[in-house]
Amino acid sequence: MHSGLVDFHCHLDLYSDHAAAVEQCEREGIFTLTVTTTPKAWLRNNELATRTRHVRAALGLHPQLVAERAHEIDLWEKLLPQSRYVGEVGLDASPRFYRSFENQKQIFARVLSLCAAAGNKIVTVHSVRATKAVLDMIEQQMPPSCGRVVLHWFTGTASEAKRAVDLGCYFSVNTEMLVNTRRAAITKTLPLDRVLTETDGPFTQVGFRPARPSDVLLAVEGLARLHNLTRNDMCAVILRNLRNLCTDSE
């Protein structure tokens, strides 16, 4: 079974039953990228994902954890040859995490340079209040010929969106990016051939429960309305983009 749905950024290991969450994605045929917040967490995520057709595990070191986990970059580097997908990585300049921002930049620079050297990585990137800094570092460290970047939950300006497109980035879109007029207007400017979908579950909600990968259908429907497409056509666009993303970075 293949649902035609893509959740390109989800934290399956943060649900109450990690193995059951992976199994549900597989049963429902949803291509799900399960991102990790530490390289230690990747080991179990990868063990579960390798038994599936539809789930892949991304090797991460979350910028919000850099203050206490920066030393884990050595383990991250050791594991990198085993993972095509990388994330969640990036920068977070929000007040709670700003004290570690310079350290975050050092870690992210190392991540990008190692991914660029490997040459075939697909990197899902966090950029809260730090879009310009993230794009500067992508431009310096990881040109499109050296791999692919997917900007997760993009919150930058219209001009930053254009710059990201020019740098070869893709974008994973969730329902939060479609709910207010300004954010939806910027999302609409993203080229359709660079768009994927995500939930960022369990950090987003559907009603009074954490979003599940199957809820990515809501993002598909929102994008379809934004572009005057049918739901099926939008699904086809996203699947084609996923195939292109994976092929382009080989």
Domain annotation covers residue 84: yes
Q: What is the pLDDT of residue 248?
A: 76
Question: How many CA atoms are closer than 13 Å to the CA of 183, on its beta-carbon side?
Answer: 13
Calpha distance 87→122 (Å, rounded): 9
Rounded mean pLDDT, 238-249: 91
Domain annotation covers residue 40: yes
Question: Residue 57, Cβ neighbours under 10 Å: how many?
Answer: 29
* Model confidence pLDDT, tens digit, residues 102-132: 999 999 999 999 999 999 999 999 999 999 9
Q: How far is CA 89 from CA 34, 47, 50, 169, 172, in A?
A: 13, 20, 21, 15, 14
Confidence of residue 227 (pLDDT cuts 50, 70, 90): very high
Calpha distance 51→34 (Å, rounded): 14
Domain annotation covers residue 133: yes
Range of the domain at 64: 6-248
Domain annotation covers residue 95: yes
Calpha distance 18→13 (Å, rounded): 5
- Whether pLDDT at 161 is above 90: yes
Domain annotation covers residue 1: no
Q: Label residue 159 exposed, middle or buried (CB < 10 Å: 0-12, 13-18, 19+).
A: exposed
Domain holding 83: CATH number?
A: 3.20.20.140
Paired tokens of 18: 């990690």
Domains held by the chain: number: 1
Confidence of residue 42 (pLDDT cuts 50, 70, 90): very high
Confidence of residue 1 (pLDDT cuts 50, 70, 90): low
- Whether pLDDT at 28 is above 80: yes
Q: How far is CA 15 from CA 59, 165, 245, in A?
A: 18, 33, 27
* Total residue length of the chain: 250
Q: What is the pLDDT of residue 14?
A: 98
- pTM comes to 0.97
* Model confidence pLDDT, tens digit, residues 128-145: 999 999 999 999 999 999
Return the sign of the alpha-carbon dihedral for residues 56, 88, 79, 132.
positive
Domain annotation covers residue 80: yes
Rounded mean pLDDT, 193-211: 97
Q: What is the pLDDT of residue 3?
A: 81
Domain annotation covers residue 197: yes
Q: What is the pLDDT of residue 219?
A: 98
Calpha distance 164→139 (Å, rounded): 9
* Model confidence pLDDT, tens digit, residues 171-197: 999 999 999 899 999 999 999 999 999
β-pairing, 205-206 with 209-210?
Answer: antiparallel
* Model confidence pLDDT, tens digit, residues 62-91: 999 999 999 999 999 999 999 999 999 999
- Whether pLDDT at 2 is above 90: no
Calpha distance 90→95 (Å, rounded): 16
Calpha distance 80→121 (Å, rounded): 9
Q: How far is CA 213 from CA 13, 131, 148, 189, 238, in A?
A: 13, 26, 23, 25, 15
* Model confidence pLDDT, tens digit, residues 3-24: 899 999 999 999 999 999 999 9
Rounded mean pLDDT, 151-165: 97
Paired tokens of 178: 């479609």
